[in-house]
Chain A
Amino acid sequence: MDEKPRKRTHVGRSVTKNDSLALATAQERFTADYPLESPLHCAILYSPHAHAEITCLHTEEAEALPGVVDILSFQNVARILHTSAGQGYPEPSPYDAVLFDNRMRYVGDRVALVAAESLEIANQALRKIRVEYNVLEPLFDRQRAMDEGVPRLHGGEDHAKIPVAYEPEKNLAAEVQIAFGDLEEGFSQAEFIEENDYSLPAASHCALEPHAALAYIDERGRLVIISTTQVPFHTRRIVSKLIECPLHRIRVIKPRIGGGFGGKQEVILEPLVALVAWRNQRPARLVLSRREVFVSTRTRHAADLHMKTGAAKDGSITGLQMDCLLEAGAYGTHSLTVLSNVGAKVLPLFNKIENLRFHGRSVYTNLPVSGAYRGYGATQGYFAFNQQIDAVTRWAGQDMVEFCKRWHIREGETSGVFKALGEGKEGVSQVVHSCALSRCLDRGAQAIEWKKKRGKHLRVGEDKIKGVGLAVAMQGSGIPLIDMGAASMKMNEDGSFNLLVGATDIGTGSDTVLAQIAAEVLKIPIEKIIVLSSDTDLTPFDVGAYASSTTYVSGQAVKACAEKIADQILATAATLLETERENLVIESESVRDPKTERTVSYEEIATSATYNRDQYQIQAQASYTCEESPPPFIAQFAEVDVDTKTGRIEVLRFVSAADCGQPINPVLAEGQIEGAVVNGISYALWEEYRYDKDGRMTNPRFWDYKIFTARDTPEIQTILVHTEEPSGPFGAKSIGEVAINGPAPAIANAIYDAVGVRIRDLPITPEKVWRGLNNTEHNEASDSAPATDKNRPTRSERGNSP
């Protein structure tokens, strides 16, 4: 840690995660671990065609199989338009999906579900369902999605819930445009124009726990759902609507969750098990295989970006144009908001650019469904943005570290983009109150030995050349004026507390972080706070674990709640100490009157309040909606060795220096960064959805969709640079997402630094680097040489047309 400016007892301490021992000894239960009494096992039949109409669906033979209890399909399930996106209501994602349709829009779309006495029988029954398809022409090329004469995926009753650009008749799932200043004038003032195309593939979250959902009917006939969800309250709302069961008759319980990263911010399985349980009045269970997770859940939005940057002689940017085409895939979940964030989370970072235009479109294709994924559009935007900045600084003969320090947004400053780009509507204007990006840049540069290595093309052995690269990024902390989190708390007679939060710990440690915030207010050991999170019957509302909101938004709710509890404790203590509460101070688990030096313990206070005098339950609740979304900032540095013979890239070290305000728990904050970094490096170098000519994913397994292991992971260094965010709980901002934005551009910039090869499409494979090396003399590379066209790699074929 950089420095510790304020004396705090619990905040800023790396206490161990309150569920970690139970997890390490495997006492905790994940969704699939819950026993159900003679459940119906569910299995799903998926479309083998990317685009087709079901002309005939014969389930009779399957139904006749002993042990088959129910079969769901478009023939017997109500057609209710919705979005599976687990967002606030009304959702900014288009209502373009039904639970079961007779139109198939991608390989992996849902045809039918079988519920049977065993999984074996259910799978056997799937094979007995006969489906006749009228195969339609598919659309795989997102670039052509809006052309005349290409297939259309949606139309008819599909609609947007809020007034946004949505034109299914053009395959347009979302469109966003903002402009400031005069872009053409800006470019005409430029001495240098850098104009490039960038491309990023779809990717899987790869949370180790596959999606799963259970449902059962409780003793009083209510429906209980246990599921791998990041959004329990949204799940309750969406399930209620889809199975036409009143919301008050549904309870959603979030157990331990085996990672989410956005992949579980979707309501996919819950309506299915709910429907089976509700129709049959029996427990139901549905656990996806890894293959099903790859093919039928959600992906990061594949993206094409076109960037044009104009710069004056001194490097100042005279104009910046960012055009983005996102691939929604078959359904438009999160397509508008991810798209907005491509601009909204990137463009404010260099807020002095006067002439600016962002135009983005999300389009439908007959490929797997995109959704929320850690970084949420910012990852796509920063991949392009940071390479553009690298190129501009090289052209201007400036050091990228110093350039970023000069141009990034500063405390007390704002950007028009904050207001212009929101989540489905206009954004919220805000001033940055905390920003240590310059310090992050200095600390990171020092750690990676920037000056010693940058532009030096150091040789390592015969064939390898070293390079270092930088990327900067910001994110947000919650969605302003939309996200709400709530907490309630009560005091037990031994002086302990129950803390109930809607906030959804999916492995992030938010249960612990929120307990630390409460402990800081109440000055009690963290062990005395019993946390229960995310049970729609027991805990108050929270939007859930997304948009980097938990620490900042839910944390403020917990802080406000604990302060109300403190008020009640002081009031009771005043009675017991026969004084006015203004005279009292809260200390370690007790209240003291400094004048008389009399103290009364929490246990005495709680016992008195519970049993002895003016009895009442010491308890409180509080909600919080953020009015702004303070960005965390990060500077990320990659050191790579590039093998000039083979194009092989070895990332040797990766340094992140991050400003997340006051980290409530530094080890957990580091863990968020480290996990995001390795996910980001893995995406930069290896990960992509590959498709055959029919739009079928060809690598839906960990053997073929490789993610980094401990052996692949380079030396990771994480530096937390301290600031105090005045609007955050004890100075905190978010840290969950920002660190995934830098790895790909930092590595791409490092490769350029080493050998002068620009890779603008992910993943950065040895083949692409080799091709780049063999189109150019790598000794051309120097700090001031801009990327020329001949440095550009041949753009690889789209994955879906091999």
Chain B
Amino acid sequence: MTGSLHINGTELRASFRGNELLLDVLRNLGCTEVKEGCREGACGSCLVLLDGVLVNSCQVLAASALGREITTVKGLGTFHEPHPIQEAFVEAGAVQCGFCTPGMVLATFALLKKNPKPEEAEIRKALDGNLCRCTGYVKIIEAVKLAAERMAHHG
């Protein structure tokens, strides 16, 4: 099937089979910022926002994303204009290998949108679907706190 995918504000024509996963279609379109860590919704590496809702793109058929707004981590900020969450991850030392980082950043974004001043327990709960083997989560949690603080000050 063919259809339009709205990715980070850009419309892209894509053709894919009806049973293809959003993860695969996005990566085939060049959105390699969406990472594959387990392909069964257990690690959070492939998170995207679908109409603002956090989903594991390996658990969503591409067909079901047609006409909906897909946001990847690249939709939040860029190297030259990073999102405050991305800056906070850098400054807190929350990025080691960086493979889980796109998913972590998106999970943080979704959390802070709903709950701009999360308690630590709420942060831990919000990141429960994201695995990281490098950091022990310590500096990731610090990064989320730092981002929340910054975003509260700067809107």
Contact = CB atoms under 8 A, between A and B. Distances in A.
Chains A and B are bound partners: yes
Contact of A20 (B98, B136, B137): B98
A675 interface: yes
A312 B110 CA distance: 60
28 contacts: A21-B87, A23-B101, A24-B101, A24-B105, A25-B82, A25-B86, A30-B32, A207-B99, A208-B43, A208-B100, A208-B131, A258-B99, A259-B134, A290-B43, A507-B99, A668-B93, A670-B139, A673-B136, A678-B137, A701-B42, A702-B38, A702-B42, A703-B40, A709-B137, A710-B127, A710-B130, A710-B132, A716-B136
Interface string A19-56: 11111111111101101000000000000000000000
Contact of A25 (B78, B97, B100, B140): B78
A21 B82 contact: yes
A506 interface: yes
B98 A507 contact: yes
B98 A258 contact: yes
Interface in A353-381: none
Contacts of A667: 93, 139
B37 A290 contact: yes
B95 A23 contact: yes
Contacts of B130: 709-710
Nearest to B134: A675
A209 B37 contact: yes
Nearest to A713: B137
Interface string B32-69: 11011111101101000000000000000000000000
B132 A702 contact: no
A197 B118 CA distance: 46
Interface string B15-37: 00000000000000010110111
Given A17-B95, A508-B96, A208 B135 contact: no
B81 to A, nearest CB: 9
A707 B39 CA distance: 16
Given A16-B91, A24-B82, A29-B32, A209 B139 contact: no
Nearest to B91: A16
A32 B101 CA distance: 16
B99 A30 contact: yes
Interface in B93-138: 93, 95-102, 105, 123-125, 127-138
Contacts of B123: 710
Contact of B40 (A21, A702, A707): A702
Contacts of A259: 96-97, 99, 133-134
A503 to B, nearest CB: 15
Interface of B (DSSP majority class): loop
Contacts, number: 181
A212 to B, nearest CB: 10
Interface of B: 30, 32-33, 35-40, 42-43, 45, 72-74, 77-79, 82, 86-87, 89-91, 93, 95-102, 105, 123-125, 127-141
Nearest to B31: A26
A257 B128 CA distance: 23
Contacts of B124: 709-711, 713
B39 A289 contact: yes
Interface string A500-521: 0000001111000000000000
A711 B128 contact: yes
B75 to A, nearest CB: 10
Q: Which of B99, B101, B125, B132 has the most CB of A within 10 A?
A: B99
A207 B97 contact: yes
A25 B73 contact: yes
Contact of A709 (B30, B73, B89, B127): B127
A671 interface: yes
Contacts of B127: 709-711
A728 interface: no
Nearest to A206: B133
Nearest to B77: A25
A278 interface: no
Contact of A671 (B74, B79, B93, B98): B93
A772 interface: no
A725 interface: no
Q: Which of A208, A671, A708 has the most CB of B within 10 A?
A: A208
